[in-house]
Structure 1
């Protein structure tokens, strides 16, 4: 998986120990020029320092993807990219009857609208350079129907639908579009919130464990890379068999 000479934009990657940060570190180690983003400048600076310390070619851009203007600003700042990994997202918990409009709108704004318009802004550049790769990060919530995640699951189902449509729409332009569906992971944030066993969620998988984020990042990197040249329109599960149960 050689990313030498390629520019990669990874949204929602401005926190050390998250899936996108681990993916950024992996891709940078394989020659990619990585642009990471997040809403928190301090956290983003820390994530960038770790990448730079690992001799990565990387920079951080603070981005608010909750507004269309913020999405456009990020697209302008990023310029031409060869690979776009859409991972920024909000996870509103709550029973359907208690879900408020503000949380609902915010989740769809960041998880769906931002992905839609950021991708739309960057596709013309990919077309002009003869191709590219888009990877949307989904979730098992898109199909399993976990309680109190109705809004989040709906946003991820929308992303999977966009993945299939875009794969067909841009196939003739040599632009591949796929989604990766992670299972429970021991990210820094998840472990801090739920403990080292991530609330027992690993036991809900066929492998009966949560993954290290690097295990999923390897799949994201493969799907994004030229090695996956015949893969498009796919939702690739890296979930320990959770969706098979």
Structure 2
């Protein structure tokens, strides 16, 4: 039987544990669905009380649909206490590694980020510290907390979610684009430091149909739209959703669906990707092409 139809082959992460930040909604939730469908137990990490219900509902959905254990965890990854809570929640609520009987963080996805747009003259020191603390310090602290629990056979996976804005220089992204450039640099460093534990790669999504994009100003959307004629996969097709067709009609091209970004993360996390580390994988429809 081919791997395309063999259920056991499709559940390549059965018994593994995945920690995903920003996973109560949007791209993070799509990543959680992708990995849970392949058998991974999921810690749904999110920040605010407003996401309590979304995280709880997603945990129940994943458990019912895929027979995995999923647990929501509201925690602030920019603090040591928040990262410790993520570890303790995973230890107490997710199945242990079957060989060791202890928590093993097989997959860690840094998806949470604070989106910030402003012309250079409007950037403030307060903005800088807030955005860099969330987008750069947070992944550092959580990776520190997870390091003792990573595999020791290189089977682990860390995926950092960057942004195409860091490559193409999108307007108004002085802070956001800067943080994503930082996380790409950290990806390469961690790929060497953690080589005996896991691969470490990053992806750079372009615009995606999420709350973040929908809440952006029209000025920002128009600036992003300048790239659609140069993005090979931005053409709207008849099978696209009504929402996407409406967006494409107004701005001249379609953006990604969250599940398309999640699929690329899923590819990186697969056993077949074991010989790739330190890479930045294009996830933007060709707006920026990997070289």
Give the TM-score normalised by structure 1: 0.88
Aligned residue among 172, 177, 197 for 1:148: 172
Structure 1 residue 43: deviation in Å? 1.9
More off after superposition, 96-105 vs 6-15: 96-105
Per-residue Cα deviation, 1:91-133 (whole angstroms, up to 9, x for no partner) = 1211222211122101111111110121122122114576411
Structure 1 residue 224: deviation in Å? 1.6
The residue matched to 1:135 in structure 2 has which SS?
A: strand
Structure 1 alignment gaps of length 5 or more: none
Task: Give the structure 2 partner of residue 6 of structure 1.
Answer: 16
The residue matched to 1:243 in structure 2 has which SS?
A: coil
2:154, 2:287 → 1: CA distance? 37
Aligned residue among 70, 81, 85 for 1:58: 70
Structure 1 residue 3: deviation in Å? 1.1
Structure 2 alignment gaps of length 5 or more: 1-9, 92-102, 235-253
2:49, 2:270 → 1: CA distance? 29
2:197, 2:212 → 1: CA distance? 36
**Equivalent residue pairs, number:** 240
Q: How does 1:81-100 map to 2 (within 5 A)?
A: 81-100=105-124
Closer, same or farther in 2 for the Cα pair 1:7/1:164, shift >3 Å? Answer: same
Closer, same or farther in 2 for the Cα pair 1:203/1:12, shift >3 Å? Answer: same
Task: Give the structure 1 partner of residue 37 of structure 2.
Answer: 29
What root-mean-square deviation, in Å, do the aligned CA atoms of Structure 1 and Structure 2 show? 2.3
Closer, same or farther in 2 for the Cα pair 1:191/1:93, shift >3 Å? Answer: closer
Closer, same or farther in 2 for the Cα pair 1:25/1:160, shift >3 Å? Answer: same
Structure ID, larger Rg: 2
Task: Give the structure 2 partner of residue 206 of structure 1.
Answer: 232
Give the TM-score normalised by structure 2: 0.75
1:78 aligns with 2:86: no
C-alpha contact (below 8 Å) 1:67/1:109 kept by paired residues: no
Q: How does 1:186-225 map to 2 (within 5 A)?
A: 186-191=209-214, 193=216, 201=225, 203=228, 205-208=231-234, 209-225=254-270
Structure 1 residue 71: deviation in Å? 3.0
C-alpha contact (below 8 Å) 1:66/1:114 kept by paired residues: yes
1:156, 1:68 → 2: CA distance? 22
1:82, 1:53 → 2: CA distance? 22
